[in-house]
Structure 1
Amino acid sequence: MRIYISADMEGVTGLVDAADVQPSGRDYERGRVMMTEDVNAAVRGALTSGATDILVNDAHGPMRNLLSETLHPAARLMRGKPKTMGMLEGLDATYDAMLCVGFHSRAGVLGVMSHSFMGHEIEDIRLDERPVGEIGLAHATAASLGVPVVMLTGDDTAVAEMAAWDPAVAGVAVKHAHDRFAAELRPVAEAREAIESAAAAAVAAHGTAAPHSRTATLAVRWQSASVASVLLGIPGVTSVDSRTVRATGTMPDLYRQFGVWMRVAASLTGQAPYC
């Protein structure tokens, strides 16, 4: 059984602030340890339920966060960037299930370190007019490949966001948001045990899903009108207003194109997230 794990960092046990998750932060090295151990808990759970091949994609920021020397030896690691598919690099229809570890809620939600991909540079994302963030786009892309998302860990707002997309996904809340940089933390040992148990149960119960390639429309509203203007040079990208662009296509092609949009935006703005 092949299992894919996408590992973000903001939703990891014990982390609440940019200083915990950015390489320049004073607590970043501790954050890397915490991230690796949350992933290890998910790997252990998947192995308990018969996983024979596990790929972990380091999906946060520089994508060089997980400590390879302490990552569970049963897991393979996808590390570094650029990646054509970003947070979903390496995911394809041969995987039986996907686990999301350390995810966070979308921009505009009062969740721990909530944002959508690029901090304050992306104001809003819509998929077929529905507000969406990293969680919704990951779920939609996996579904298009026929890979069910079976578990998500993060704060309570991230768990609720996934439940709104797919109530069948097992959610593990490792902290409860009090504000964007404040949370009530679940005890570390308890949180890791919950991740391992949920992963085991979710992998054991995973079903099958047929790949589909329905056409969808992705719209992104940027803080900078210059980003939207430059993106109009990409074939198929059209303007909604001075700061919003959209494109229509099928997943995962639309997800891949969105990655190009973000690289264009990064080259134009150079702004750090969480400002």
Structure 2
Amino acid sequence: MRIYISADMEGVTGLVDAEDVQPGGRDYERGRLMMAEDVNAAVRGAITAGATDITVNDAHGPMRNILPESLHPAARLIRGKPKHMGMLEGLSPEHDAMICVGYHSRAGALGVLSHSFMGHEIEDMWLDGRPVGEIGLAHATAAAIGVALTVLTGDDCACTEMAAWDASVRTVAVKYARDRFAADLRPAEEARAAIEEAVAARLSAPPKASVAAAEAPSTLTVRWQSASVASTLLGIPGVTAADTRTIQAQGTLPSLYRLFGVWMRVASSLTNQPPYC
């Protein structure tokens, strides 16, 4: 059984602030170790369920957060950037299931460190008219590739968002949001035991995703904080304007996901904003 793990950081056990998840932050070094421990719990659960091949994609920020020596030796690590598929780099139809570790709720939600991909640069996103963030877009893209998202870990708001997209996905809340930078923390050992148990149980009979979504075009719409970003992106063929700050494009997933990655790289070149403010 081949398992793919996409690992973000904001939804990791114990982390609540930008100082925990940004390189240079006073608690970042501790945070990256906490991230590895949550991932390792998922790896142990996958091994218990019979996984023989496990790929971990470091999907947060610089994508160099997990120290290779901190990762469980049974897993391979995809590290660094740029990556054509960003948070889903390396995911293929050959994988039997996907797990999302450390994910967070979308922009506008009152979840811990909530945002959509680029902090406050992206004000909102929609997929086929439905509000979407990193969770929904990962789920839809994986389904188009033919891989089912089986387990997601994060705060309670991330778990609620996941359940709204697909109630069959097993969720593990490792903390409970009190505000955007505050949470009621689940004890670390308890949280990681819950992750391990959930992964082992869910992967005992992993579902197979339908690839029907890959055949139909989708529309991705993004509202940017900056009209300059939206205006510049209109230079990309197929991108149209809904208003001065909102653009959209049609295409099939996962190609549309890859195109969105290009949008973010353009936006990054035009802005110099911290991700949490």
Q: Report the TM range for the smaller structure's normalisation.
A: over 0.9
Find the aligned partners of 2:234 and 2:102 in 1 and give their Cα distance.
Answer: 33
- Number of residue-to-residue matches in the alignment: 275
Find the aligned partners of 1:34 and 1:223 in 2 and give their Cα distance.
Answer: 32
Find the aligned partners of 2:252 and 2:201 in 1 and give their Cα distance.
Answer: 31
Which of residues 263, 273, 276 is equivalent to 1:274?
276
**Cα distance, 1:208 vs structure 2:** 1.4
TM-score (normalizing by structure 1): 0.99
| Structure 1 position 238 matched with structure 2 position 240 | yes
Find the aligned partners of 2:8 and 2:243 in 1 and give their Cα distance.
Answer: 31
Which residue does the alignment assign to 1:83?
Answer: 83
| Structure 1 position 4 matched with structure 2 position 4 | yes
Which of residues 207, 215, 218 is equivalent to 1:216?
218
Which residue does the alignment assign to 1:166?
Answer: 166
Amino acid at match of 2:27: D
Which residue does the alignment assign to 1:18?
Answer: 18
Find the aligned partners of 1:208 and 1:216 in 2 and give their Cα distance.
Answer: 21
Which residue does the alignment assign to 2:120?
Answer: 120
Amino acid at match of 2:263: W
**Cα distance, 1:36 vs structure 2:** 0.2
Unaligned runs of 5+ in 2: none
Find the aligned partners of 2:71 and 2:21 in 1 and give their Cα distance.
Answer: 18
Q: For 1:11-40, what per-residue CA distance to the aligned partner results, in whole angstroms no more than 9, with x for missing partners?
A: 000000000000010000000110000000
Which residue does the alignment assign to 2:96?
Answer: 96
Find the aligned partners of 2:246 and 2:94 in 1 and give their Cα distance.
Answer: 35
Unaligned runs of 5+ in 1: none
Kindly report which structure 2 residues correspond to 1:36-55, keeping only aligned pairs within 5 A, or say none: 36-55=36-55
Find the aligned partners of 2:188 and 2:270 in 1 and give their Cα distance.
Answer: 40
Which residue does the alignment assign to 1:260?
Answer: 262
Find the aligned partners of 2:205 and 2:187 in 1 and give their Cα distance.
Answer: 27
TM-score (normalizing by structure 2): 0.99
SS of the counterpart of 2:70?
coil
Residue identity (%): 74
SS of the counterpart of 1:69?
helix
Moved over 2 A (4+): none
**Cα distance, 1:89 vs structure 2:** 0.2
Q: For 1:71-92, what per-residue CA distance to the aligned partner results, in whole angstroms no more than 9, with x for missing partners?
A: 1000000000000000000001
Find the aligned partners of 2:205 and 2:136 in 1 and give their Cα distance.
Answer: 22
Q: For 1:199-252, what per-residue CA distance to the aligned partner results, in whole angstroms no more than 9, with x for missing partners?
A: 101111211123231210000000000000000000000000000000000000
Amino acid at match of 2:225: Q
Find the aligned partners of 2:51 and 2:83 in 1 and give their Cα distance.
Answer: 25
SS of the counterpart of 2:273?
coil
Kindly report which structure 2 residues correspond to 1:35-74, keeping only aligned pairs within 5 A, or say none: 35-74=35-74
